[in-house]
């Protein structure tokens, strides 16, 4: 076994083969010693089957459970899904998905109870597989030290770690197999990508430390470091993995997203190369690299096909500044998308920034009458690429930039949106732009019902709550809302639509200074600056615009009581109807709304004949 673990020759022992031989002849002194060594949890020559494969099975079963739930939600008859028993089970699942916890002092929200339970199950699995089997180190006497230099704790934790590797890459890809079978969009998989990476790193540490302890005990540490190339490759891989794990934390990532992304890819490449040589062809270790490479290659290839063949390479964006200081980016395209979806955009003529690609939420909708639509983004300048765009728009208004598009991804579940007869849409700060396609989709939906050959009058209602401390954003939203309605021939908000704009700032501002235009949203993440459809200042005053939208538009000073608003909407929702709650805003807003919707699920579990669905659009994915 030592010969298989300790190559001694740089990079690879020869001859290279895909999998190592498993033949083993017991050379111990007694039959009992042979049986002990070949015990189920101790036998080195079967360790990959005993530890790595169960890790793969653990993650695969979790994916299958979510895939089956996705199939049920998509294909089970609505009459069956609305039966009392299924409604209660669905309410329980939603309660677990929506209930979360918040530490106000740190401005930190936990994952939902369901995610925390999944993390707990994963923690229990890895702790049991690592710590329960015995021994941690081989027994040693003056006459016997025959089991080699790979402690059992190091062996099993190493294989557990390797079993995590394919799933770390699977959950990282924008186009990935997990999203295809479960319906969970790639940005929502980021929390699992991060947590599986933690398990990957911790088990790698548990693989490393026993070797250090063992070699110090046997006075071999210096010799192993000087002669065993596995130690060098392992240390480099572990250092790269530590960077990948800790440099991805939110506060560090926010400092410079472009710096983070570039070095994340560099560190990942270094990690994979040195881990490949570290594993050699020990047992079936290279199988995991093959699987990881296949999934990564398919994800990358699918994205490239979409970029170059679905969208093409001749897209040109017009860049300008909006009245509230946001950068307006408009891209004529034949692409289709739906509410809340985002595109990754590469700006090809901005120097070094052409090397990076950034996600922005599309807050326009495809045209109903033309093959070509206008994909519009409104981007808050936050440094790096976004500040460069703002300077370009200021220096050369309506300048043209060549862009590559990748998407769309994510977004609101359209079946859930259509099934929600009542909709409560809540946004804060730069989430204002996200509201506009929600409203447009609602108007289009009611227009289709009106044009249909039916005597039924649509009973679809929408209440919009916008909270902003930025007066220019409030003014911009009112003007943009007025223009969006005018484009559809409407002079006021349609029946059933109410808008409340809560101003939480301390003063009015008639103009937007350069510094204000570059002010960062406190809770926004540079990965996902929100966007909206273009609005240019018009000649009417803000009061005239607001009066045109009355009486359905209300201005309110102070923060909205979101929990009370959700409770009121739930209480007023008729029986056998679904209330859809859609929120996009800072962490405190998300926490208040999600917990209020979770509380409503408890009433449904007690027998209330209604449904309450929640969709949260996060500023930060991880």
pLDDT tens digits, one per residue of 107-156 = 888 889 999 999 999 999 999 999 999 899 888 765 555 566 689 999 99
Q: What is the pLDDT of residue 510?
A: 38
Is the peptide bond between 374 and the residue preceding it cis, with omega within 30 degrees of 0?
Answer: no
The full set of domain ranges for the chain reads 2-35+49-81+112-137+145-305, 310-409, 414-617
Strand 578-584 to 611-617 pairing = parallel
Residue 269's pLDDT is what? Answer: 95
Q: What is the dihedral of CA 402, 432, 439, 591, to 10 degrees?
A: 120
From residue 387, how far is each of 353, 360, 518 by CA, in Å? Answer: 11, 15, 7
SS3 557: strand
pTM: 0.86
pLDDT under 50 in the chain at which residues? 1-9, 457, 509-539, 621-622
pLDDT of residue 10: 52
User: Distance between CA 70 and CA 2 in Å, rounded?
Assistant: 48
Structure confidence at residue 458 (pLDDT):
56
What would the pLDDT profile of 600-612 be if each residue is shown by its tens digit? 999 899 887 788 9
The pLDDT score that the predictor gives to residue 491 is 79
Other Cβ atoms less than 10 A from the Cβ of 319: the count is: 24
Q: How far apart are CA 336 and CA 592, in angstroms?
A: 33
- Topology given in CATH for the domain delimited by 310-409: Elongation Factor Tu (Ef-tu); domain 3 (2.40.30)
Classify residue 396 by its DSSP letter.
S
| Residue 43 CB neighbours (<10 A) | 16
* Integer CA distances (angstroms), 206 to 199, 249, 521, in order: 10, 22, 40
pLDDT of residue 546: 56
* 3-state secondary structure at position 500: strand
pLDDT, residue 455, reads 52
Q: Which CATH class is domain 414-617?
A: alpha beta
User: What strands, in cross-sheet order, belong to the sheet with 497-503?
Assistant: 553-557, 497-503, 461-468, 422-428, 578-584, 611-617
């Amino acid at each position: 076994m030592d010969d298989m673990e300790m190559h001694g020759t740089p990079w690879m022992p020869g001859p290279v083969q895909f999998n190592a031989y498993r033949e083993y002849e017991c050379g111990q002194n007694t039959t009992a010693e042979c049986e002990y060594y070949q015990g189920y949890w101790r036998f080195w020559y079967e360790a990959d089957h005993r530890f790595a494969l169960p890790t793969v099975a653990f993650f695969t079963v979790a994916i299958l459970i979510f895939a089956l739930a996705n199939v049920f939600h998509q294909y089970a008859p609505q009459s069956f899904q609305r039966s009392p028993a299924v409604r209660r089970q669905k309410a329980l699942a939603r309660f677990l998905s929506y209930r979360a916890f918040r530490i106000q002092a740190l401005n930190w929200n936990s994952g939902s109870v369901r995610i925390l339970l999944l993390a707990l199950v994963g923690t229990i699995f890895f702790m049991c597989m690592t710590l329960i089997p015995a021994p941690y180190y081989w027994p040693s006497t003056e006459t016997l030290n025959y089991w080699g230099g790979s402690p059992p704790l190091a062996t099993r934790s190493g294989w557990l770690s390797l079993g995590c590797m394919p799933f770390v890459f699977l959950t990282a890809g924008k186009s990935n197999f997990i999203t295809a079978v479960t319906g969970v969009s790639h940005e929502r998989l980021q929390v699992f990508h991060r947590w599986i990476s933690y398990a990957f790193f911790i088990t790698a540490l548990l693989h490393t430390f026993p070797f250090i302890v063992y070699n110090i005990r046997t006075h071999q540490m210096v010799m192993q470091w000087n002669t065993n190339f596995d130690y060098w490759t392992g240390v480099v891989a572990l250092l790269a993995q530590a960077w990948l794990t800790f440099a991805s934390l939110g506060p560090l990532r926010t400092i410079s997203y472009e710096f983070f992304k570039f070095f994340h890819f560099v560190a990942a490449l270094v990690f994979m190369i040195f881990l490949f040589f570290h594993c050699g062809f020990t047992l079936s270790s290279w199988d995991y690299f093959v699987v990881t490479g296949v999934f990564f290659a398919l994800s990358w290839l699918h994205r490239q096909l979409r970029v170059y063949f679905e969208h093409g390479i001749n897209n040109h964006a017009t860049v300008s500044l909006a009245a509230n200081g946001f950068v307006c980016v408009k891209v004529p395209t034949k692409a289709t998308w739906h509410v809340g979806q985002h595109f990754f955009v590469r700006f090809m003529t901005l120097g070094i920034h052409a090397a990076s690609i950034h996600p922005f939420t599309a807050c326009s909708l495809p045209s109903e009458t033309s093959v070509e639509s206008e994909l519009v983004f409104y981007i808050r300048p936050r440094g790096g690429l976004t500040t460069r765009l703002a300077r370009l728009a200021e220096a050369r208004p309506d300048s043209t930039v060549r862009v590559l598009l990748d998407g769309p991804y994510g977004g609101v579940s359209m079946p859930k949106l259509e099934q929600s007869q009542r909709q409560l849409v809540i946004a804060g700060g730069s989430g204002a732009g996200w509201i506009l396609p929600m409203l447009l989709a609602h108007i289009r939906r009611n227009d289709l019902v009106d044009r249909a050959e039916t005597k039924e009058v649509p009973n679809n209602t929408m209440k919009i709550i916008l909270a902003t401390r930025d007066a220019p954003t409030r003014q911009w939203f009112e003007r943009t809302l007025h223009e969006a309605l005018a484009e559809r021939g409407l002079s006021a908000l349609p029946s059933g639509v109410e808008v409340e704009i809560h101003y939480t700032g301390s003063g009015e501002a008639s103009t937007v200074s350069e510094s204000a235009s570059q002010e960062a949203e406190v809770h926004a993440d540079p990965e996902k600056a929100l966007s909206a459809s273009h609005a240019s200042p018009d000649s009417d005053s803000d009061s005239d615009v607001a009066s045109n939208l009355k009486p359905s538009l209300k201005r309110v000073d102070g923060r909205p009581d979101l929990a009370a608003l959700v409770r009121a909407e739930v209480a007023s929702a008729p029986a056998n109807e679904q209330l859809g709650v859609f929120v996009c805003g800072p962490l405190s807003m998300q926490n208040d709304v999600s917990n209020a919707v979770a509380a409503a699920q408890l009433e449904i579990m007690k027998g209330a004949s209604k449904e309450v669905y929640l969709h949260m659009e996060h500023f930060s994915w991880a």
